[in-house]
Chains A and B, each alone.
Chain A
Amino acid sequence: MIGPRSVLRRAFDAVDRGLDRTLGPSLNPMDRLGALGFFFYWIVAVSGIYLFIPFDTGVHGAYASVERITHAQWYAGGVMRSLHRYASDAMVAAMLLHMAREWAHDRYRGVRWFSWLTGVPVLWLLYVSGITGYWLVWDKLAQYVAIASSELLDWLGVFGEPVARNFLAPDALSDRFFTLLVFMHIAVPLFLLFAMWIHLQRISRPKVNPPRALAAATLAAMLAVSLWRPALSQGPADLTTVPSEVGLDWFYLLLYPLIDLWSHGWIWGLLAAFTVMLLAMPWLPPFRRARAAEVTLAQCNGCGRCVDDCPYNAVTLVPRRDGRPFSHEAQVDPGLCAACGICMGACPTSTPFRRSSALATGIDLPERSLTWLRERVLAVTGGTKSGSGVLAFACSHAADTGALVSAGAGVVQLPCVAMMPPSLIDFVLSRELAAGVLVVGCAESGCHHRLGVAWMRERIAGARDPYLRARVPRERLATVWAGPSDAGRVIAAHDELKARLAGLAVAAPARRAVS
């Protein structure tokens, strides 16, 4: 059945693949939404500091000071104001897309619950930061937002005096109250930064900075738009009138029309229900928690490759406890382990060449062990030397491999393509279990386990330990990084490999005849 998640996943994947082809995976902004969110935060912070210096924090001077900043110094203050607004809006857009993308790709449950859960306060702190910022301009929009927000807050009944009474008439609003709003607009973003830092705590190598070229292009685009369409005020606030028509910022103020239509109780109910739903999502069925990786101390020498490669900081090195002459041993935190198997693929003892029936490796997956993997390979290929077809090692989160099976290829599905130790490719080709190996991983900008594609590429290229041995004939190996909407590219890569293998088969007898 095709559900909304599947539709959204394919939509994101189609956009990703288009951007990958146009810009290249490293510059694909959809793959850097979190990093772009941080980048926008810094733009907002720097421009905010600049704007705060000449800003008049009194209610009677605020609007005039913002106008001075905007118009008298349009080339600096005006641009900074526009950057401040547009980067704030872009941060909301990046955050919502990031959230929807992680949900669509099912990257929010299991061990990833922490990142999802800590993202919820980030969502609300960002909204509070932005909404309080709109009050400070003290134009007609500020008046509308301030009064609507106050009335909404007053419904809670937690304030002694109704906050909205501060906006009854021009003489009701004091400089002191306005200064409190300024303080909130500074304090809440600091809490936001703290929440963003917590959000990253359980992942290794978080991408908090976009690539320089992407950052430069983003900043240049924001500067261009700031000059072309500067952010402006909407006329001074006047509490003796109702600001009948306002230009809403639809990123921050999307719910405000609902405040006019629904009772405040319903609005709070909606917000509470949405928040509870978000918080509960990682624990909603179906549950698919695989058993965590396990260390076999007899095979572990504490080399640390599994620690380096784990995308979730689930493996650490601890002092040796079994008396063997190594300083450290690997230790898995089951609460953090996603059972992706990348650690097993990284372990130098993970070799399928051993003759023992139960292969022992330093770190292994109980449900997808190295032994299981070798047996699966033997079962798919028939286990004989006569292999003339293609064996595909495919990530179960990558493109559908049904067409490969139809085309006669053997397929071994893995939780992550980097679970495969490079020696397995050597094993297949040197034992002539297949004529060629096709590695099918997630798209480069959409790796389900974050680092699997990168690690596998580097292992094959000989840039990351464990390397694919030099003796492995590269002409018999092909890789394709393909998301759910890229099944066509997988079959194309397979056909290309088959054609190449056919050419090799013709050339080999010819060489034998010459020699």
Chain B
Amino acid sequence: MSPALRYALTFAVMLAATAGIAALSDWPLYRHHPADMAQVKLSFSHGSDRKAGCRPATAEELAKLPPNMRRPVVCPRDRPSVRIEADLDGRPLLRAEIRAGGIAGDGPARLYRKFSVPAGPHVLDLRLSDTGRAEGFDYTGRMEVALAPAQNFVVDFRPAEGGFVAR
């Protein structure tokens, strides 16, 4: 076989290999989310109220402290868990109690959850407790949304803006 023919065949082999590689670089298509569905994403990073765990110091506790450190209220370092509930169209979507982050449990509680929901009008009810209370909630919100197919509807929690906010 002549060298020219061998070079031509080498080019042909590498061309076929590269064409195969190029084809697989973006084909076949992958559908990871149904076309008629939307997505609701609930996410927040929120430090719950540390004051909720505060209690009056006992006389024994105060007696053990130097006079200049005798504070009448003892506040633990760790934060209470954040309790959240979400209903979509009256049906439970999420019930979760999220522990405060950090080794000592003194960081913010973090949530990142996503839900695939049918496109169309929905009512989203949200409730959150960040004070460690056993009953009731500190924040509530209701959102009425019409979700388009493939829409990504994000709900965050920002106490400074009044609680639950759509982003």
Hey, which bits of chain A sit against chain B, CB under 8 A?
19, 22-24, 27, 29, 82, 85-86, 89-90, 93, 141, 144, 151, 154, 160-162, 164-165, 168-169, 171-172, 213-214, 216-218, 220-222, 224-225, 228-229, 231-232, 234, 239-251, 256-257, 260
Q: Which residues of B contact A232 (CB under 8 A)?
A: 26
Kindly state the interface size class of chain B when it binds its partner. Answer: 35 or more
Q: Are B14 and A169 in contact (CB under 8 A)?
A: no
Q: Are A231 and B25 in contact (CB under 8 A)?
A: yes
Q: Are A247 and B112 in contact (CB under 8 A)?
A: no
| Shortest beta-carbon distance from A254 to chain B in Å | 10
Q: Are A144 and B32 in contact (CB under 8 A)?
A: yes
A247-B26, A257-B32 given; A86·B45 CB < 8 A = no
| Shortest beta-carbon distance from A164 to chain B in Å | 6
When C-beta atoms are compared, the residue in chain B nearest to A165 turns out to be B43
Q: Are B32 and A260 in contact (CB under 8 A)?
A: yes
User: CB within 8 Å of A: which of B6-36?
Assistant: 6-7, 9-11, 13-15, 17-19, 21-27, 29-35
Q: Which residues of A contact B15 (CB under 8 A)?
A: 221, 224-225
Q: Are B150 and A244 in contact (CB under 8 A)?
A: yes
| Shortest beta-carbon distance from B113 to chain A in Å | 10
Q: Are A165 and B18 in contact (CB under 8 A)?
A: no
Q: Are A217 and B11 in contact (CB under 8 A)?
A: yes
B85 within 8 A of A: no
Hey, which bits of chain B sit against chain A, CB under 8 A?
1, 6-7, 9-11, 13-15, 17-19, 21-27, 29-35, 38-39, 41, 43, 45, 101, 107, 110, 112, 150-152, 154, 156, 167
When C-beta atoms are compared, the residue in chain B nearest to A229 turns out to be B22
Besides the contacts A160-B101, A169-B154, what 18 more A-B pairs have beta carbons closer than 8 Å?
Answer: A23-B9, A86-B22, A93-B21, A141-B26, A162-B110, A168-B167, A216-B7, A217-B13, A221-B14, A224-B15, A242-B38, A245-B31, A246-B32, A247-B30, A249-B26, A251-B21, A251-B25, A256-B32
| CB within 8 Å: A-B pair count | 144
Q: What is the CA–CA distance of A231 and B25 in the complex, to the nearest angstrom?
A: 9
Q: Which residues of B contact A171 (CB under 8 A)?
A: 167
Q: Which residues of A contact B45 (CB under 8 A)?
A: 161-162, 165
Q: Are B17 and A213 in contact (CB under 8 A)?
A: no
Q: What is the CA–CA distance of A249 and B25 in the complex, to the nearest angstrom?
A: 4
